[in-house]
Amino acid sequence: MGLKRTIAAFGGLALLLGASVGCNAAWADSSTAADGKVASAGGPGEAAEGASDFAARGEQTCMRCHDKAPVTDILATPHAMKADPRTPFGKHACESCHGVSRDHYEAHPAEGQRRPSPAVVFKGEFASPVADRNAKCLACHQNGLRMNWQGSQHESNNIACNSCHTIHVQKDPVLVKQTQPDKCFTCHAEQQALTLQFSHHPIREGKVACSDCHNPHGSAGPDSLKKVRVTDTCYTCHADKRGPMLWEHQPVREDCTNCHNPHGSQNARLLKEKVPFLCLDCHAATNDMGGYGYKNSDVAAHSGNFYLSGDRSCLNCHSQIHGSNSPSGSTFFR
């Protein structure tokens, strides 16, 4: 009985091995086209482009010519993780982004003639249209922070993803807080000039980046702010100004930029004007108290431009200008 069981077990193993070999052979037949191109599952655009249209050896085909930096630097990036099917190298390597480019790598141009370009070229004289380049990126990067890209300011101005992003590097400069502003300032020169003012957010010091406040891929708020309102964006860091307060200063609740220029100012605390001139933009009648219904003592205190003749300002007395929780703080004294 023991011998029969042993023979039966070996017989079953042989059948199993035979089935495995048969499956492997069938897979090889189904995944190799007549022209020797190896098929690969997944990847955007394969409904229109057969899997067998891609280079059989993937990136090795491209790197027969493109074998130097910065092209080869992509091998050290997350995009080159072959074990992850979500990455370009987990699908068709270079052609996942550059499209089927058989005409490019199989061409044998005569001396002096130019080799045909890949299907999608991201930069240079022969760069593809912005829509074609962005379509390749958005095939994978559509969700999350990019969900409002369609109709955003950058998309409406025909900005390509690779105008800001650098792919063939281990760390994209626009994703590093210290180097991100250099990318943004390429177009936003006015904001760059403001960051060089005396009072500024620590952008050039590398402590704050543009993306801390803005979502360059679009948002539901104004000026691509990450929050729906300006004040909500500011409250992300300045939570002590949020309130609710027992006594609230209306311009503060409406919009912080009524008084502050967040990119920089020549006045202290990012103020758009020097106090008291900033206050007089709204409280113009405070100079003579006309129409404000103040007591005679208040009129005397504010009359004669006493706060315009020296360094004294409204904030010397109205120190809680962002709001007060004191029962006697209606004038923001405390």
Per-residue pLDDT reduced to its tens digit, 262-272: 999 999 999 99
202 within domain boundaries? no
Is the CB of residue 107 less than 8 Å from the CB of residue 56?
no
Amino acid identity of residue 25, one-letter, is: A
Q: What percent of the chain has pLDDT over 70?
A: 76
The answer as to whether 286 is a domain residue is: yes
Number of structural domains found in the chain: 1
pLDDT at 283: 81
Task: Classify residue 298: in a domain, yes or no.
Answer: yes
CB 214 within 8 A of CB 207: no
Residue 258 lies in a domain: yes
SS3 60: helix
Question: For 80-115, what is each residue's pLDDT tens digit?
Answer: 999 999 999 999 999 999 999 999 998 888 888 888
pLDDT of residue 334: 74
The whole-number average pLDDT for the span 38-52 is 49
Confirm whether 276 is domain-assigned: yes
* Res. 310: pLDDT tops 80: no
Query: Does 264 fall in a domain?
Result: yes
Domain extent at residue 303: 243-316
As a residue count, the chain comes to 334
Please tell me whether the peptide bond between 109 and the residue prior to it is cis, using omega within 30 degrees of 0: no
* Number of Cβ atoms within 10 Å of the Cβ of 174: 19
Asked if the structure places residue 112 within a domain, the reply is: no
CA dihedral 203, 209, 212, 215 (to 10 degrees): 130
Is 292 within a domain? yes
